[in-house]
Amino acid sequence: MFGLGEEAAGPVGPAAPWPDALLRLGEDLPRTVRLGTSSWSFPGWEGLVYDRRASASVLARHGLGAYAAHPLFRAVGVDRSYYAPPAVEVFADYAAAVPDDFRFLVKAHGEVTSPSSRGRAGSNPRFLDADYAAEEVVGPARAGLGEKLAAILFQFPSHTGAACGGARPFRRRLEGFLERLPAGGPYAFEVRAANLLGPPLAAVVEGVGGIPCLSVHPSLPGLGEQRAAWGDAFARAPLVLARWMLGPGLEYRAAVERYRPFDALIDVDPHARAGLAELLLAEGARPALVLVNNKAEGSAPRSVEALAEALCRRKGTG
- How many other CB atoms are there within 10 angstroms of residue 181's CB atom? 18
Q: DSSP class of residue 14?
A: B
CA-based torsion, 277, 283, 285, 291: positive or negative: negative
CA distances from 19 to 1, 12, 34, 46 (A): 30, 19, 20, 15
- Tell me the C-alpha distance between 43 and 57, whole Å: 9
Predicted local distance difference test score (pLDDT) of residue 5: 46
Average pLDDT by consecutive 10-residue portion of the chain (318 residues)?
A: 47 95 97 98 98 96 98 98 97 98 98 80 85 98 99 96 95 97 96 96 97 97 98 98 95 96 98 97 95 99 98 80
Contact 291, 243 (CB under 8 A): yes
Predicted local distance difference test score (pLDDT) of residue 255: 97
Say whether 191 sits in a helix, a strand or coil: strand
Domain map (residue ranges) of the chain: 20-315
- Tell me the C-alpha distance between 307 and 301, whole Å: 10
Predicted local distance difference test score (pLDDT) of residue 12: 95
- Tell me the C-alpha distance between 178 and 210, whole Å: 10
DSSP secondary structure of 18-67: PPHHHHHHHHHS-TTEEEEES----GGGBTTTBSS---HHHHHHH-HHHH
Predicted local distance difference test score (pLDDT) of residue 83: 95
Predicted local distance difference test score (pLDDT) of residue 1: 41
Predicted local distance difference test score (pLDDT) of residue 214: 99
- Tell me the C-alpha distance between 282 and 235, whole Å: 11
- Tell me the C-alpha distance between 37 and 141, whole Å: 19
CATH architecture of 20-315: Alpha-Beta Barrel (3.20)
Predicted local distance difference test score (pLDDT) of residue 3: 44
Q: Before 17, cis peptide (omega within 30)?
A: yes
- How many other CB atoms are there within 10 angstroms of residue 182's CB atom? 13
Predicted local distance difference test score (pLDDT) of residue 10: 66
Contact 225, 253 (CB under 8 A): no
Predicted local distance difference test score (pLDDT) of residue 315: 85
- Tell me the C-alpha distance between 185 and 234, whole Å: 16
Predicted local distance difference test score (pLDDT) of residue 9: 52
